[in-house]
Structure formats: C-alpha cells, structure tokens
A and B are shown apart, each in its own frame.
Chain A
Amino acid sequence: MNKLSWFNVVSLTLGFAFLYIPMIILIIFSFNESKLVTVWAGFSTKWYGELMQNEAFLNAAWVTVKVAVFSSTIATVLGTMAAYVLVRGGRFLGRTLFSGMIYAPLVMPEVITGLSLLLLFIGIGLDRGVLTIVLAHTTFSMCYVSVVVSSRLVTFDRSLEEAALDLGCSAAEAFRLVTLPIIAPAVISGWLLAFTLSLDDLVIASFTSGPSATTLPIKIFSAVRLGVSPEINALSTLMIAVVTVGVITASLVSKRATLRQKQDEQAAAREA
C-alpha cells in the first residue's frame, strides 16, 4: 500500500483543493482594498484596522474568550471525573443512564440542546448572560472531554495504579501522582477541544445568551446574514491563523516527543 496511482494523486489534490481553496480566498480578500469582496482592488490592511476599532466585535470577542476559558476548564474537570467513573467506576445505580447522558449530547442537534437549556434557565428564573452560556457550554463539552479522556484511560495500564497503591499511596494520591501525570496529554487535548467547541458555538450560545452577553459567533452570524463583508473576512483570517498556528505547533510538539521517545528507546536497546 505505498504506490500512489494517478487516481490517488488526483483525489488528494482535488480533495485538499476543495478543503483549502475557500479559506485561502477568504484570507486573500481580507487584504483587499475595496469594500467589494469579490473584486480585487489592491493590497490593504485597513479592514484589520477597522476591526480593531469595532467596539462591538472586541466586546464580543472578550466575552467569547471568557466563556471559553471558564466552560472548558470546568468541563475538563467534570469530563475527567466522568471518564474515570465510566472506565473505573464499576457498577453503580443508574450507570446506564449516566453513560447515556455522556454520549447523548454528542449526537444531539444543537437546536434541541439550546432550546432545552433556555427553557430550563427561564423556568428557574436565571437571567441569561455569561453564566448561562458557561453552564450550557460546560454541559455539552464535558461530554467531549470525557470521551477523549476515557479513550486514554481504557488503554491505561492499571498495574501502574496498583503499583502506586502497593507503594503506599492512597487512592487519591495514586490518581494525583501517577494517573493524572500520565493521562495529562489526553486531558489537555480534551481541554483544547472544549475550548474550541465553545469558541465555535453559535446555536447553543444564541439560545442561552442574553442581551448583556453576545459572543463572537453570534455577532458574526448576524453580520454575515446581511452578506459578505471584508471586515468579517479579516476577523475570519485572524481566527484561522490562530487555529492553524495552534494545531501545527501541537502536532510538531507531539511528533517531536514521539521521535525523541523512539530514539531513546533505540539508544537503550543498543546499550543493553
């Protein structure tokens, strides 16, 4: 399986062109002088300048980041707990319901999740704002975190925990000193996933936000409903840039770590 046929080459080329050309066009036209997004009128960074002046966007961005940081952090704690319970909890009353509630939000249409949470918040008289968005985001992203973490826990060598207990750790110490450091990469990627999901979410945020708190996706959505604008292109470009740098850095770091590990192992084998 390593000789690419012309058909394979064409599929890859067209496939990645399809995936990337729209974004590349979007980025290019964020530097367009003209207000018309489809006609090139020369290079300019003025839309970035205007974006920086736009109070509403800046406020929304700030709210979004706040929501994302809080919700992803709480979701990581809850999701890790849930993963631990699912993988290690053994039997307990309502286990099936519990695992159902972990997996259901992953396939639930966002409109339904958003609607139901909104009805809850109104029902208990909670004012809609940053808090309600954080609660909503935490709820659905903790499920993603728990899926990521539990897939790591499943392959975790249990004898490591037993060794820690055997050497005198209490169960909590064994988790803190042994399990957590080892599953840390999964927990971190769970956090990153939760953070991105929160940054990204339009539908649930639309239902659960109030006039006092508007997130960036809500702002973008209401702007793009009116059509394409160079300012949104500039904003999109910034967001794409952040994500790209993040993802590439993360994959380089992890690639380096695996390479290093492999080299160390080979060196150890040679020495022996």
Chain B
Amino acid sequence: MNTSVFAPWEDPNAKPLISFRNVTKRFGSFTAIDNLSLDIFEKEFFALLGPSGCGKTTMMRMLAGFETVTEGTIELAGQDIAAVPPNKRAVNMMFQSYALFPHLSVWENIAFGLRRDKMPKQDLEARVEEMLKLTRLEKFARRKPHQISGGQRQRVALARSLAKAPKLLLLDEPLGALDKKLRQDTQFELMDIQESTGTTFVIVTHDQEEAMTVASRVAVMDEGLLKQVATPDRIYETPNSVYVADFIGDVNIIQGRTTTANEGTYRVDWAEGQAALNATSATEFSNDQTCHLAIRPEKITITADRPENADNVVQGKVHDIAYLGNLSTYYVELSNGTMIKAQAANTRRISRRSFTWEDPVWLSWTATAGVLLAN
C-alpha cells in the first residue's frame, strides 16, 4: 500500500465517506462514547483500536445500525443515517462470532443478502461464484458451516458480508478466533481483498499488531474518547500521549521537567544526580513544565564501553535479559533504581555477547530518538 499517494485525510477538500459529528452514546448512566468526531474516507482501511470497553464496538454497532446515537449525528456519504434501519443501510458487517447461519450451506449463506435484494437468479449465481472465488471457497460451497474449519468460516463470513458490495464493511475482531499463524496469513489476505474490491473497511480490534499491519489509519480509543488518529507509523513514532505510547508497543517513559535549550530542543531534568537528557520536540514546552520522555527500547543502544558523541548517555547494570531469538531485551537498572529497557538485534551468537547479567553497561540514544509528551 502506498500511503504517500493515498492520504485523503490530508486533503482538506476530500469528502469523508463517514463522519461522526459530536457523537455521544450513553447506556443509562454509562457514557460509552463521549462527544466524538471522526472522519473516515472512501477506500480507507480504518482500524479502531483499544482495550475492551473503550467504546470501539459501540462505534461499529452505531455504524451498522444496531445502536442508536444519543447525541450528535453520523453521516454516511453526506446523509444522516440515524433514521435508516440496519437492513436498509449500505453497510455490512462481519461479526466477531461470524454469525454464519448454521442451517444454510456456505453457498446459501453468501447468497442470503443478495436474495433479500431480489437479485435476478443469474446475477445472483454469478455474484456468489465470484465471492467464492475471491475467498477461495469454491470447493466448500455445498457444505454447512459446521463442516468447515475456523479459517474457512472466517472467509465465508467475509464473502457473505462483501457479497452485497457495501459502501462500507465493518469487521468486528475478524481474526480474533484464529490461531496466531493463520491470523498473520489472513491479515494479508484481508488487505488484498480490501484493495481489490476497493471497499472501505472499518475494523475493530484490540490487537495492536493487527491494526498496525492492516490499517491505513488507526484510531486509538480509551474510555469513549479518541486518543489519537493517525497512520500506523505516526502512531508508533510520534504518539501524542503517554497512553498511546504505552498502548502501542514497548516503551520507556521517563518523567522530568523541561528547560528550553535551543529552538525545538529541550533539556529534561529527571533525577537527582543524573545528567539532564536532551530531546527535540515539535510541540512547545515552557520552562519547568512536567514532561514525559517516551523512548522505544529498540532506539536505545546498549554498549559495554561508554560511547563517544552520544546526545544522551546513562550507565547501569544488566538486571535481566529476555531472549526472543532474533532480538534480546535488556532490562538495565540505573544507579537510582530506574529500570530502562533496551533492545538489540542478536547479530552474534549468545556465547559471543560482550555483556551478560550484572555487567555494567552504557545506554545511549540520540536527541531525536524519543518523543516529549506533555501528558
């Protein structure tokens, strides 16, 4: 996917396919969605990511028409969809449980939605065959859902929801029921299908890796609020809050106070007896403002000798090593007790590693490696 070409969200003239306008959803006294606004564009593969109970599923069910909006409006292609019942919406949904009709064959399941539209027999058959081919299910057309494997069921659910060529396809944890290996293969399959059909996909997931892999943009949610909406690389490299930084991947968070050094660079005082850290930031910080420096473990270099010319250097000793095969994560304890994670590729065999448990090591990173966050 070429994101530098496909970026309608950066074009101020682009018309969104879906727009949430100040949407609030309450269940009794519980606020599931809190005054949320969001635009999703045509042909996007948009991921709603967050822990369970963050409101992502509610967002999806409001799009499908299974929940009503308490306040605000949701527009689909410029039309308010509040009054449109689920069966009249040009939106289809792939359910987490797949919700395949157990009494109907794979073929009948895929044809189900088309029949509701009273599609002529020949067109219907052609469309079902097309869907079977797209999802490589031709061999299983006559089988019932219980006669096929989990991965095949997932594809039937996808084929069924795509059959009506919806403007928007909603996928509720589509890969949640598959084992890890199958899930990875299926992610790419989903992306291929999304691209070849040109359908807008909105996926709900709690699996950040999945969201990062498949999505053109990711929205990180928490307690009914959007924390950040951006492309996967921006979410990872420049999170806008400690919450997002911490939710996506592994991160070291160092709390401190800022002092302006130059235009865009700051010194961060973070602990008694430790040298101030240098960091750049696009957002402005005032002097003596509380800040959090977020640094990914893989951006920290770990060496046995003190490195020359590094922007930031701290010393500590190896407390623990997590060996992951291709990588190792080193838990380094600094003299004041702070624990910093550093990751290094295992380019050499373990026996030839230059440091091990309890060894003194040096950690270093550049001023641009981390992100300064206000909260």
Chain B 77-107 interface mask (CB, 8 Å, partner A; 1/0): 0000000011110011101110101110000
Contact indicator B146/A264 (Cβ below 8 Å) = yes
Beyond A159-B95, A162-B99, A163-B99, whether A168 also contacts B149 by CB under 8 A is: no
Contact A264 B116 (CB under 8 A): no
CA distance A269 to B152 in the complex (A): 10
Give the chain A neighbours of B161 by CB distance below 8 A. Answer: 166-167
Q: A272 at interface (Cβ–Cβ under 8 A)? A: yes
Given contacts A264-B147, A272-B152, contact A167 B113 (CB under 8 A): yes
- Which A residues lie within 8 Å of B144 (CB)? 264
Report if B148 contacts A (CB, 8 A).
yes
Q: Which of A169, A181, A268, A269 contacts B87 (CB 8 A)?
A: A169
Q: In the complex, how many angstroms separate the beta carbon of B148 from the nearest chain A beta carbon?
A: 5
A182-B112 CB under 8 A given contacts A162-B66, A168-B87:
no
Please state if A268 and B146 are interface contacts (CB–CB under 8 Å).
yes
Q: Is the CB of B86 within 8 A of A165?
A: yes
Whether B101 contacts A269 by the Cβ 8 Å rule is no
Q: Pick the contact of A168 from B66, B97, B117 — CB < 8 Å?
A: B117
Checking B96, B117, B143 against A159 with a beta-carbon cut-off of 8 angstroms, the contacting residue is: B96
Residue B64 at the chain A interface, CB threshold 8 Å: yes
Cβ of B164 within 8 Å of any chain A Cβ, yes or no, is yes
Closest-CB distance, A176 to chain B (whole angstroms): 12
Which residues of B (143-163) have their CB < 8 Å from a CB of A?
Answer: 143-144, 146-152, 160-161
Within 8 A of A (CB), among B214-238: none
Q: How far is the CA of A163 from the CA of B164 in the complex (A)?
A: 13
Q: Does A164 contact B (CB under 8 A)?
A: yes
Residues of B within 8 A of A162 (CB): 64, 66, 86, 93, 95, 99
Q: Pick the residue among A167, A177, A265, A268 that contacts B92 (CB under 8 A).
A: A167
A178-B101, A268-B146, A269-B149 given; A163·B116 CB < 8 A: no
Contacts of A55 in B (CB 8 A): none
CB-based contact A168/B150 at 8 Å = no
A200 to B: closest C-beta gap in Å: 32
Taking CB atoms, residues of chain B closer than 8 Å to A272 are 148-152
Q: Contact flags (1/0) for A214-258 with B, using CB distance below 8 Å?
A: 000000000000000000000000000000000000000000000
A44 contacts the other chain (CB 8 A): no
B147 adjacent to A267 (CB under 8 Å):
yes
> In the complex, which residues of chain B have a beta carbon less than 8 angstroms from the beta carbon of A164?
101, 112
Per-residue B-contact encoding for A139-174, CB less than 8 Å = 1, 0 else: 000000000000000000101101111111110010
Q: Are the C-beta atoms of A268 and B151 separated by less than 8 Å?
A: no
In the complex, A164→B102 CA distance in Å? 12
Cross-chain contact B164 with A167 (CB below 8 angstroms): yes
- Majority secondary structure of chain A interface residues (helix, strand, loop or mixed): helix
Q: Is the CB of B93 within 8 A of A168?
A: no
Q: Number of residues in B with C-beta < 8 Å to the partner?
A: 33
Chain A neighbourhood of B91, CB < 8 A: 166
Minimum C-beta distance from A160 to chain B (A): 5
Partner of B99, one of A159, A181, A271: A159
Residues in B with CB closer than 8 Å to A165 are 65-66, 85-87
B64 touches A166 (CB 8 A): yes
Enumerate chain A residues within 8 angstroms of B87, measured Cβ to Cβ: 165-170
Does chain B have a CB within 8 A of A13? no
Chain A residues whose CB sits within 8 angstroms of the CB of B101 once the complex forms: 160, 163-164, 178, 182
Q: Smallest Cβ distance from A155 to chain B, in angstroms?
A: 13
Q: How far apart sit A110 and B6, CA to CA, in the bound complex (Å)?
A: 74
Residues on the B chain within 8 Å of A269, using CB: 149
Report yes or no: A271 in contact with B97, Cβ–Cβ below 8 A.
no
- Across the interface, name the chain A residue whose C-beta is closest to B95: A159
The minimal Cβ–Cβ distance linking B150 to chain A, given in whole angstroms, is: 7
C-alpha gap A170/B148 in the complex (Å): 29
**CB–CB A166/B93 < 8 A:** yes
Smallest CB separation, B215 vs chain A (Å)? 22
A261 at the B interface (CB under 8 A):
yes
Per-residue 0/1 for B50-93: is the Cβ within 8 Å of any A Cβ (1 yes, 0 no)? 00000000000000111000000000000000000111100111
**Cα separation A267 to B147 with both chains bound (whole Å):** 7
- Point out the residue from B85, B149, B160 that lies within 8 Å of A268, measured CB to CB: B149
Is B86 a contact partner of A166 (Cβ separation < 8 A)? yes
Which of B99, B146, B150, B161 has the most chain A CB atoms closer than 10 A to its own CB? B99
Asked if B116 and A261 make an inter-chain contact with CB atoms under 8 angstroms apart, the answer reads no
Hey, which chain A residues are within 8 Å of B113, CB to CB? 166-168
CA distance A221 to B93 in the complex (A): 60
A267 to B144, CA, bound (A): 12
Given contacts A166-B92, A265-B146, A268-B147, contact A157 B99 (CB under 8 A): yes
Contact of B116 among A157, A168, A271 (CB under 8 A): A168
A/B interface sample: 26 pairs, CB < 8 A: A159-B97, A159-B99, A160-B101, A162-B99, A163-B93, A163-B101, A163-B160, A164-B101, A165-B86, A166-B64, A166-B87, A166-B92, A166-B161, A167-B92, A167-B112, A167-B113, A167-B160, A168-B113, A170-B87, A182-B101, A182-B103, A264-B144, A264-B146, A268-B148, A272-B150, A272-B151
Give me 7 other A-B pairs in contact (C-beta within 8 A), A167-B112, A182-B102 excluded.
Answer: A159-B97, A162-B64, A162-B93, A164-B101, A164-B112, A169-B87, A268-B146
